[in-house]
Amino acid sequence: MCLAVPGRVLGVEERDGTRMATVDFGGVVKEVCLEYLPDLKVGEYAIVHVGFALQRLDEDSARQTLELFEHLGMLQEEFGDPWEQAAAENGSGRPSHDVAAGEVQR
């Protein structure tokens, strides 16, 4: 189908009685209808789908989620297999970082 991606509002205007915005998606700028988020302001982020802003992106929530991920690992330290952990630490670094190779290249 289509995509819903976060974009940052660059400007807002009324056009033919419809609230519209120019939105920046990491360098690509698109016209976006704001009728479903009329109070969205310049500088804010929104989830945009087929030319419509559908939900404000809550930047505090995003930060909190990432902080939560940073603090994960307690369980593993407590209950994980120490032999496997030692082997991983003894090996060529954290192999998990190679995930990026298959993951984010686009």
Partner 1 sequence: MKYIDEFQDPGLAARLVDEIHATVTRPWALMEVCGGQTHTIIRHGIDQLLPEEVELIHGPGCPVCVTPLEVIDKALEIASRPGVIFCSFGDMLRVPGTGRDLFQVRGEGGDVRVVYSPLDALRIAEQNQDREVVFFGIGFETTAPPNAMTVYQARRQRIRNFSMLVSHVRVPPAIEAIMRSPDCRVQAFLAAGHVCSVMGTGEYPELAERFRVPIVVTGFEPLDILEGVRRTVLQLERGDHTVDNAYPRAVRPEGNPAARAMLDDVFEVTDRAWRGIGVIPGSGWRLSERYRDYDAEHRFQVDGITTREPAACRSGEVLQGLLKPHECEAFGTTCTPRSPLGATMVSSEGACAAYYLYRRLDLTAQAQAPASQNRAPARPPSAETAPPTPSPSPSPSSCPSPSMEGSSVV
Residue 30 engages partner 1 in binding (rule: CB under 8 A) = yes
Question: Could you tell me the smallest distance in angstroms from the CB atom of residue 54 to partner 1?
Answer: 5
Residue 62 engages partner 1 in binding (rule: CB under 8 A) = yes
User: In this structure, are residues 31 and 20 in contact, taking their beta carbons and an 8 Å threshold?
Assistant: yes
The per-residue DSSP string of 39-51 comes to T--TT-EEEEETT
Judged by CB under 8 A, the chain residues 40 through 59 that form the site for partner 1 are: 45, 47, 49-52, 54-55, 57-59
User: In this structure, are residues 7 and 24 in contact, taking their beta carbons and an 8 Å threshold?
Assistant: yes
Residue 90 engages partner 1 in binding (rule: CB under 8 A) = no
Residue 69 engages partner 1 in binding (rule: CB under 8 A) = yes
Q: Starting from the edge strand earliest in sequence, which strands make up the sheet with 18-25, in order?
A: 18-25, 28-33, 52-56, 45-49
Rounded distance between C-alpha atoms, residue 79 and residue 32, angstroms: 49
Q: Which residues contact partner 1 by CB under 8 A? A: 1-6, 8, 16-18, 25-28, 30, 33, 35-38, 45, 47, 49-52, 54-55, 57-59, 61-62, 64-66, 69-70, 72-73, 75-76, 78-81, 84-85, 87-88, 94-106
